[in-house]
Amino acid sequence: MAITLAEARKYGIKLPPEIEAEIEAEQKKKKSKYNNTKPVIDGIKFDSKLEANEYCRLKLRKMAGDILDFERQVPFTLQASFLFGKRQIRPVKLIVDFLVTELDGSLTIREAKGVRTQAYRIKKKMFLKQYPGIKFVEVTE
C-alpha cells in the first residue's frame, strides 16, 4: 500500500528527499476524469478506446465502400449566443464524435459513449429536436 506525503508528515515519518520527490511526482500525475486512456491512432489522440475503435470501424467501412465519408469532432450549434442585459451568453454546442455520410447521401451521427452525463443527455435532446433529419446512433461497449 502506497503512502502519501500528507500521511508521512501526519505520523512524523521522515522520508529521504529523493523518495519525497518521487511520491510528489506520482501524486501530481493527472488522472482522467472517467479513468480512461487516450489512445493515438494515425497521429490522432482520441478521448477513449471506444472512440478510437469506432474510428477504425469507420475507416474500414469507408475502404469497403459501405459509407461515402466521415468526419471527426463536428460541432453543431444547439442554441445561438445572445445578449442578456449587458452580458453576452455563449452558444450551446454539441461536438459529435463522428458525422457519417451514408451511400444515399443521408447523415448519421455516431457518438461513442461510455458515460452519459446529464449535460450530454440534455444536449442530445436538443440535437434531436433541432436536427430531426439526421440519424443519431450511440455506440457503447
Q: Which CATH architecture has domain 40-139?
A: 3-Layer(aba) Sandwich (3.40)
Q: Where in the chain is the domain with CATH 3.40.1350.10?
A: 40-139
Q: Please determine, for residue 1, whether its predicted confidence score (pLDDT) is greater than 60.
A: no
Task: Supply 68's cell numbers.
Answer: 461515402
- What mean pLDDT is reported for the chain? 87
Determine the pLDDT at residue 83: 95
Query: Counting beta carbons within 10 angstroms of the beta carbon of residue 54, is it exposed (0 to 12), middle (13 to 18) or buried (19 or more)?
Result: buried
Determine the pLDDT at residue 29: 63
Model pLDDT for residues 45-74, shown as the tens digit of each residue: 888 889 999 999 999 999 999 999 999 999
Q: Please determine, for residue 124, whether its predicted confidence score (pLDDT) is greater than 90.
A: yes
List all residues 6 or more positions away from 122 whose beta carbon is below 8 Å from its beta carbon: none
Q: Please determine, for residue 17, whether its predicted confidence score (pLDDT) is greater than 90.
A: no
Model pLDDT for residues 69-119, shown as the tens digit of each residue: 999 999 999 999 999 999 999 999 999 999 999 999 999 999 998 888 999
